């Protein structure tokens, strides 16, 4: 619940406050509990009432009465309210224990377009941001009651496939594609890029092969399909390892014919202009330059297929919200085609959102894969799980299913590395730091969950006492207030498409809980404090829900 409402309900009835419509918004939570729990600045009142803020504050202090507040004070024109902790604590505990799931999205549909793996390349660590962020956003909206459709709009079309066919023709054999798999294809793709630096004719040849793919040339389609089948199998295998799943793997190739009708519709609406042989939509007056719809050789572009995709998705899903998770470098691309869709009169254009993210890199520098197999996801997973096993074994574990635990820790660390900071910030992923059990990491959160579970297991069938004095302290009150903020955190995360709100919340919750755990005995001389155990149960449940939203397992034992 919103705690400041407890104060607002009594404050709004004071004569001096009745004329102010924004009273509720003016109430703010104090950053330092020494200055109360909630504060009301009186400066905007002073402008209207023509008296000093301090005088207004004094009048409020004299007149305000509430069973939920034990102290009110005026400090330099601010009214500080101090909660009656035992009363507010009881309200919060009862509400948290009986809280129902938030279902603000019932009967609404959201599609989340994320990952968008390019089948012409290895899945490298640069793909992790879109894949992990998109998965978390999907989980959040599903938790809120929306029907969520997870879409992997794979890159299975375009000139890169012309490059692959060219490489196979020059240095490979199409019969080896299915036999040797994705490594064979990727090695040839890397070789093409190296050779093309010296021989520009190879790029012309690649464009010609892509033109043959578009015109459905038998040979081109045969080789192309072999490349797609092998690459798609590997992409799905890696997503399965990350436990990230999709409702659809429909890619660009599916929309290659549908894009023609988009060009025709734009032409019919007189939105197309011919420029140097290419067809464009002029968006200069919107500050977006020119949006190229069709190349001079008649081939389609990403933007054409994106338009066709949005139109097709609305026809199939009748979505209320469409979310695209791609890098910040594509901001202009999305702004352009969103505007084109708007100019076409599509009412759902306003319901599309581009959720961007910054650069993801390793300590050694920016990630690249054009000329080599750098930071591949499959290698990253193997290394993280292997290192997690070393750390767990070094701590003297006696667990039976160590492999599963290490898998949960390793993959959790990889995911958490993406979502622990604001998505639009550039970040550096360091595996050793991410696997630290004592830092701002997912193993720290997982370990706190396991600690809670251990306490709960020990408490079974134990003699207990219910003593409210056990939780009548500042640390318990701060913990219950923080637990109360979880729902608001989820809603804010959905509104801003920001997974790190939940990551940071969980780190803060674990920090506050561990402080509480280290200071107060939950089991003392074989006697259980039922009041404190109640807090442990709420913390465990909240951590579990939060990790579930982040797509990270919450082990019961570590």
> What sign for the dihedral angle of Cα 334, 335, 339, 340?
negative
- Rounded mean pLDDT of 172-195? 93
Q: Quote the CA–CA distance of 434 and 80 in Å, as a whole number.
A: 40
Q: Is residue 370 pLDDT above 50, yes or no?
A: no
> 437 to each of 165, 442, 445, 469, 553, how far by Cα in Å?
47, 8, 8, 33, 15
* Mode of pairing for the β-strands spanning 28-29 and 38-41: antiparallel
Q: What confidence tier does 366 reach under pLDDT thresholds 50, 70, 90?
A: low
- Only one residue has tokens 């993959």, namely 411
Q: What confidence tier does 187 reach under pLDDT thresholds 50, 70, 90?
A: very high
So what's the pLDDT on residue 11? 95
So what's the pLDDT on residue 257? 83
> What values do phi and psi take at 493, rounded to 5?
-60, -40
- For the domain made up of 377-550, give the CATH fold: Isoleucyl-tRNA Synthetase; Domain 1 (1.10.730)
Q: Which of 98, 82, 84 is nearest to 1 (CA)?
A: 98
Q: Quote the CA–CA distance of 121 and 231 in Å, as a whole number.
A: 8
- Rounded mean pLDDT of 255-272? 92
Q: Is residue 334 pLDDT above 90, yes or no?
A: yes
So what's the pLDDT on residue 364? 67
Q: What is the rounded (10 degree) CA torsion for 409, 412, 417, 423? A: -160
So what's the pLDDT on residue 385? 95
Q: What confidence tier does 285 reach under pLDDT thresholds 50, 70, 90?
A: very high
Strand order in the sheet with 278-282: 273-275, 278-282, 290-294
Q: Quote the CA–CA distance of 7 and 81 in Å, as a whole number.
A: 8
So what's the pLDDT on residue 288? 97
Q: What confidence tier does 408 reach under pLDDT thresholds 50, 70, 90?
A: very high
DSSP annotation of 485: T
Domain residue spans in the chain?
Answer: 4-83, 377-550
> What values do phi and psi take at 301, rounded to 5?
-125, 175
CB 340 within 8 A of CB 272: no
- Rounded mean pLDDT of 351-371? 75
Q: What confidence tier does 365 reach under pLDDT thresholds 50, 70, 90?
A: low
Q: Which CATH number fits domain 4-83: 1.10.760.10, 3.40.50.2000, 3.30.1360.70, 1.20.1440.230?
A: 3.30.1360.70
Q: What confidence tier does 468 reach under pLDDT thresholds 50, 70, 90?
A: low
Please state, rounded to an integer, the average pLDDT across all residues of the chain: 92
Q: Which of 414, 362, 82, 11 is nearest to 241 (CA)?
A: 414
> What values do phi and psi take at 374, rounded to 5?
-90, 135
Give the tokens for residue 402.
Answer: 């160590």
3-state secondary structure of 5: helix
> 350 to each of 27, 223, 355, how far by Cα in Å?
33, 40, 14
Q: Which of 539, 556, 547 is nearest to 93 (CA)?
A: 539
Domains 4-83 and 377-550 share a fold: no
Q: pTM (2 decimals)?
A: 0.92
- Only one residue has tokens 């590997």, namely 234
- Rounded mean pLDDT of 263-283? 94
Q: Quote the CA–CA distance of 176 and 169 in Å, as a whole number.
A: 12
So what's the pLDDT on residue 430? 87
Q: Quote the CA–CA distance of 503 and 474 in Å, as a whole number.
A: 24
- Rounded mean pLDDT of 459-487? 85
Q: Is residue 418 pLDDT above 80, yes or no?
A: yes
Q: Which residue has the higher pLDDT, 405 or 299?
A: 405
Q: Quote the CA–CA distance of 385 and 380 in Å, as a whole number.
A: 9
DSSP annotation of 95: H
- Rounded mean pLDDT of 220-232? 96
- pLDDT 10s digits, 5-52: 999 999 999 999 987 888 999 999 998 888 999 999 999 888 888 999
Q: What confidence tier does 374 reach under pLDDT thresholds 50, 70, 90?
A: low
CB 334 within 8 A of CB 292: no
């Amino acid at each position: 619940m919103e705690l400041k409402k407890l104060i607002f309900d009594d404050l709004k009835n004071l004569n001096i406050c009745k004329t102010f419509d924004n009273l509720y918004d003016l109430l703010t939570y104090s950053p330092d509990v020494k200055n109360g729990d909630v504060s009301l600045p009186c400066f905007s009142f002073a402008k209207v009432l023509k008296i000093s803020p301090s005088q207004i504050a004094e009048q409020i202090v004299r007149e305000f009465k509430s069973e939920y507040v034990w102290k009110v004070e005026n400090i330099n024109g601010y009214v500080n309210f101090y909660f009656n902790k035992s009363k507010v604590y009881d309200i919060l505990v009862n509400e948290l224990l009986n809280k129902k799931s938030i279902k603000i999205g019932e009967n609404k549909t959201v599609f989340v377009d994320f990952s968008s793996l390019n089948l012409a390349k290895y899945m490298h660590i640069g793909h992790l941001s879109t894949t992990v962020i998109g998965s978390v956003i999907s989980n959040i909206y599903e938790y809120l009651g929306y029907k969520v459709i997870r879409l992997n709009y794979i890159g299975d079309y375009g000139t890169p496939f012309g490059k692959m066919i060219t490489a196979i023709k020059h240095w490979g054999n199409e019969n080896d594609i299915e036999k040797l798999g994705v490594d064979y294809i990727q090695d040839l793709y890397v070789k093409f890029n190296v050779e093309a630096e010296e021989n520009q004719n190879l790029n012309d040849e690649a464009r010609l092969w892509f033109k043959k793919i578009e015109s459905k040339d038998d040979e081109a389609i045969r080789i192309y399909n072999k490349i797609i089948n092998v690459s798609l199998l590997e992409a799905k295998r890696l997503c399965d390892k990350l436990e990230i799943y999709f409702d659809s793997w429909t890619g660009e190739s599916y929309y290659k014919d549908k894009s023609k009708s988009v060009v025709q519709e734009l032409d019919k609406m007189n939105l197309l202009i011919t420029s140097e042989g290419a067809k464009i939509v002029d968006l200069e007056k919107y500050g977006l330059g020119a949006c190229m719809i069709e190349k001079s050789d008649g081939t389609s572009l990403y933007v054409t297929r994106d338009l066709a995709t949005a139109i097709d998705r609305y026809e199939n899903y009748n979505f209320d919200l469409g979310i695209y998770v791609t890098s910040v470098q594509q901001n202009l691309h999305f702004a352009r085609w969103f505007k084109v869709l708007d100019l076409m009169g599509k009412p759902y254009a306003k319901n599309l959102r581009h959720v961007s993210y910054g650069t993801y890199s390793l300590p050694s520098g920016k990630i690249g894969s054009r000329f080599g197999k750098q930071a591949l996801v499959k290698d990253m997973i193997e290394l993280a799980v292997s290192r997690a096993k070393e750390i767990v074994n070094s701590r003297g574990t006696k667990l039976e299913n160590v492999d599963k635990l290490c898998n949960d820790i390793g993959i959790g660390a990889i995911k958490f590395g993406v979502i622990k900071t604001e998505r639009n910030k550039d970040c550096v992923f360091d595996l050793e730091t991410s696997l630290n059990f004592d830092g701002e990491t997912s193993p720290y959160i997982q370990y706190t969950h396991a600690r809670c579970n251990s306490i709960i297991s020990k408490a079974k069938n134990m003699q207990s006492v219910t003593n409210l004095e056990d939780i009548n302290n500042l640390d318990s009150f701060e913990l219950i207030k923080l637990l109360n903020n979880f729902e608001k955190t989820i809603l804010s995360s959905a509104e801003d498409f920001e997974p790190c709100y939940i990551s940071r919340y969980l780190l803060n919750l674990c920090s506050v809980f561990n402080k509480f755990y280290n200071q107060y005995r939950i089991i003392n001389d074989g006697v259980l404090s039922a009041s404190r155990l109640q807090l442990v149960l709420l913390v465990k449940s909240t951590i579990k829900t939060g990790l579930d939203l982040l797509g990270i397992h919450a082990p019961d034992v570590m």
